[in-house]
Chain A
Amino acid sequence: MIAFLARRALGILPVLVCVSLFSFGFVRMLPGDPARLLAGPDATLQEVRAVRISLGLNKPLWQQYLTYIRQTLVGKLGTSARTGQPVAKVIGERFMPTFWLTVAAMAWSTVIGVALGVLAGVRRGQWQDQTSMVLAVSGISFPAFWLGLLLIDLFSVRLHWLPTGGEEGWRSFILPSFTLGVAVAAVMARFTRSAFVEVAGEDYVRTARMKGVLERRVIWKHTFRNALIPVITMAGLQFGFLLGGSIVIETVFAWPGLGRLLVDSVNYRDYPVIQAEILLFSLEFVLINLLVDVLYAVVNPEIRLQ
């Protein structure tokens, strides 16, 4: 297990080097001159040049890349072109709000989603199944933008119970985490149901039932446990996506997270911040995949970590 983790951890390094190269090249392929955009809508050529020099964009590309790598290695990640702050600080400030919002959304949506999925799987074809799946389809199809505004209108404007947005205290988490989790819960429910139905048709489940194993035991031990593998994969993927910050949710709820930072940074071609965000998202995905692999082994001891 420890050897496995060590090997995988080492494997992360080349991935990050590749990502750093790609993101560096990719942001520079975007049309638009960062110096012009940052200098503002009525800047003179002299001002545009001043900005270009202060951003180091007048230097050859290889020099810019080396500066970027050097600053990344010392953990500074460069300086935000837009605000002049160290990128590590800019991202640090925004990471925690996104992280906690993701945790809150994932926590409720996974529990509810899996529960609905199991219920639908067990009572296949019956009203519980149909109700769950109607809820799931609505959850997927509800535009988060619209749902968010609707909840704000009801709970903030009319009832004055919850703040409209911003991150201040636990109350501010309720509406955004609910809105963010709705689609996740729906996906989890659909996924759990189909995995459950598939496993329920396996020979070993029939055998268990024929042996006279209690139905409850058949459901939880034989079916649910085996159906969990694809569900964990999906949960990991969703978690990774949400950690990137939801642009829609963060915009509607004025949430100071990574998604909005990315939009603002792309609008101003803030290269160092865009690069750092891409690097962070890649790192998150690699780590989550690792966690998912470990969880496989926990759920099913037959899967060996190699």
Chain B
Amino acid sequence: MSRKLDLSRRAMLGGTAAVAGGLAFGDLAHAQTKSGQLTVGVAAALMTLDPADANDTLSQSAARLMLEGLLTFDKNMQVVPLLAETYEANAQATEFTFHLRQGIKFQDGTPFDAEAVKINFERIANPANHLKRLSLLAMLDHVDVVDQYTARCVLKFPFGAFIPTVAHPSLQLLSPAALKKWGKQIGRHPVGTGPFVFDSWQPDTLKVKKNPDYWQKGMPHLETVTLRSDPEDGARIALLRSGEAQMITPIPPQQAVVIEHDPKLALINDPSIVVRYIAMDVMKKPFNDPRVRQALNHAVNKQLFAKVVYNGFADPLLSAEPPHITFYEQQQAYDYNPDKAKQLLAAAGYAKGFDSVMWGFNNTVAITAMQFLQQQFAMVGVKLKVEPLEGGVMASRIWNVKKPDESHLEMYYGGWSSSTGDADWALRPLFATASFPPSLYNVGYYSSKAVDAALKSGLETADPAKRGAAYATAQKQIWDDAAWVFLGVERILDARDKNLEDAYRLPDGGLMIDAAKYA
């Protein structure tokens, strides 16, 4: 599309400049780029400002402007304390105690204390509330208020990944008084402890303004922040280039060059935790033979994959989870080797290759990826039919399937981002036997006793060393079994005004602009 814009520019400029010269409206950009104001152009539409009822990254990011959690993530997805000062766990990973920061008030004046933690966490964990993030705290039995500033979470069963779970943006805290006042409408009236206060939410535009009583002195630097939905990629880039926005997210990999060539703009190019892979139904022929799955791993040139599909903005995927997830263990790469792939296929009895069908989403990038894979597989004799599916169709054909033998899936071009940043949620939903659809997302019906045992033991302790050992075992086994064709890890691609600092996205895609400022 950038080429289209360039052509149009050349065609238009000569002819229309004179005509347009008559309409003098003044310069909008200068009027809008006042320091202290930040407008961010986003692709998606905001759904709610109640993070416990939000499953999309944008809604959670928007809530992050106004709300805070006990813990949060730093730029590298490491858990750091926020409203809690310290925390500790018991040896069985069934009790987690948080010592809270004192003297903080919610924006409506309600004091922040252990009671507020109890009300918020138990609201999410209560199935009667039907909140979309219920499962994050499904293991929570109750919260004890030990004293005013000490809250103890008591779990129903051991859950070693509880600490990263508490850092999840969906567990950010709302004012108990506001929860009581607004009930189900809290998503339109968020009140937290954060650096910004809710101002307005018109269709597609959220405005927040500085919280003058924010507990971190000297913060925030900005007076107002506006999030504006602009779904079209080209129009969103225009929003930034015209100066109406100072940051846009995301930008398509093919448009990165437009940003790089603009002296007033900067490209944000950071690692993400979005993995790209092919899942295969390993219960079915031919994918039940590990040699076939290994062959397919050798048949794809991953460097070329990154180049063709992501314009170079992707990293290799060298394990079942990406590097910015906890307990990552790099594995020995399946090198690109079509001859080896053919030998493995022949050994498995498919010397002439086979025919298969690949399903994936119907967006441009996914279709490009599937077409690329089609060509790569054709070189080793695997004839692929590509079927892009609409989201709803995908849901009914893959995720809502009741039993393995009712699944018609052969190959699936998929993606996953572990929203807790933890190895458990990066592996268990995709590889555990208990995660077959419809309960979770093991759509290839991969099942390994060793992996199941490792995933289980990873949750039975909060001790990082023991957890690390468990997830190392799981990753090695999944890799050696070639449960997926491991393709790549996406990169975060955004663009900003050169003068804007400390505005970025986390590897999980969450927008972090609460500390943003102008140079």
Contact = CB atoms under 8 A, between A and B. Distances in A.
Contact of A149 (B30, B234, B390): B234
Contacts of A269: 392
Given A43-B132, A48-B438, A154-B20, A82 B47 contact: yes
Contacts of A47: 132-135
B354 to A, nearest CB: 28
Interface string B422-443: 0001000100000000111100
Contacts of A153: 5, 8-9, 12, 238
A149 B235 contact: yes
B461 interface: no
B441 A252 contact: no
Interface stretch (A100-108, A159-167, A186-194, A200-208): A159-167
Given A44-B440, A146-B4, A264 B28 contact: no
B379 interface: no
A32 B53 CA distance: 21
Interface string A254-271: 101000110010010100
Nearest to B397: A31
A280 to B, nearest CB: 16
B203 interface: yes
Nearest to B56: A40
Contacts of B188: 85
B131 interface: yes
Most buried by B among A42, A93, A152, A164: A164
Interface in A233-270: 251-254, 256, 260-261, 264, 267, 269
Contact of B27 (A30, A97, A160, A171): A160
A150 B396 contact: no
Interface in B18-35: 20, 23-30
B29 to A, nearest CB: 5
B132 A45 contact: no
B477 interface: no
Contacts of B228: 166, 254
Given A51-B130, A156-B238, A254 B232 contact: yes
Contacts, number: 181
A305 B202 CA distance: 43
Contacts of B425: 42
B20 A252 contact: no
A287 B55 CA distance: 40
Contacts of A45: 438-440
Nearest to A44: B135
A30 B20 contact: no
Given A43-B135, A160-B242, A161-B28, A50 B127 contact: yes
B241 interface: yes
Interface in A76-93: 82-85, 93
B134 A165 contact: no
B5 A256 contact: no
A156 B417 CA distance: 36
A155 B241 CA distance: 12
B339 interface: no
Given A32-B390, A43-B135, A150-B8, A84 B242 contact: no
Interface residues on A, range: 35 or more
B169 to A, nearest CB: 13
A51 B400 contact: no
B276 to A, nearest CB: 14
A38 B47 CA distance: 10
Interface string A17-37: 000000000000011110011
B242 A50 contact: no
A303 interface: no
Contact of A54 (B4, B130, B235): B130
A94 interface: yes
A155 B20 CA distance: 8
A164 B238 contact: yes
Interface in B220-265: 228-232, 234-235, 238-239, 241-244
Nearest to B204: A256
Contact of B29 (A44, A51, A146, A160): A160
B231 A46 contact: no
A164 B239 contact: yes
Contacts of A136: none
Contacts of B204: 166, 254, 256, 260
B28 A84 contact: no
B407 to A, nearest CB: 15
Nearest to A171: B25
Contacts of B390: 31-32
A41 B417 CA distance: 9
Contacts of B150: none
A165 B241 CA distance: 13
A137 interface: no
Interface in B132-171: 132-135, 138
Nearest to A150: B8
B72 interface: no
A158 B441 CA distance: 47
B393 interface: yes
B205 interface: yes
A168 to B, nearest CB: 9
A169 to B, nearest CB: 10
Contact of B244 (A31, A83, A163): A163
Given A44-B440, A94-B203, A256-B204, A32 B28 contact: no
A162 B396 contact: no
Given A47-B135, A93-B203, A254-B204, A32 B238 contact: no
A252 B27 CA distance: 22
A53 interface: yes
Contacts of A43: 55, 132, 135
A36 B395 contact: yes
A161 B29 CA distance: 8
A144 to B, nearest CB: 12
Contact of A157 (B53, B127, B238): B238
A267 B12 CA distance: 36
B244 A164 contact: yes
B8 A166 contact: no
10 contacts: A31-B392, A33-B392, A47-B133, A149-B8, A149-B238, A153-B9, A161-B24, A166-B228, A256-B204, A267-B391
Closest 4 CB pairs of A and B: A32-B392, A40-B55, A256-B203, A54-B130
Given A254-B229, A261-B203, 17 more contacts: A33-B395, A37-B391, A40-B56, A42-B417, A50-B131, A84-B187, A93-B202, A94-B203, A154-B12, A156-B244, A160-B29, A163-B242, A171-B28, A251-B235, A254-B230, A254-B235, A254-B239
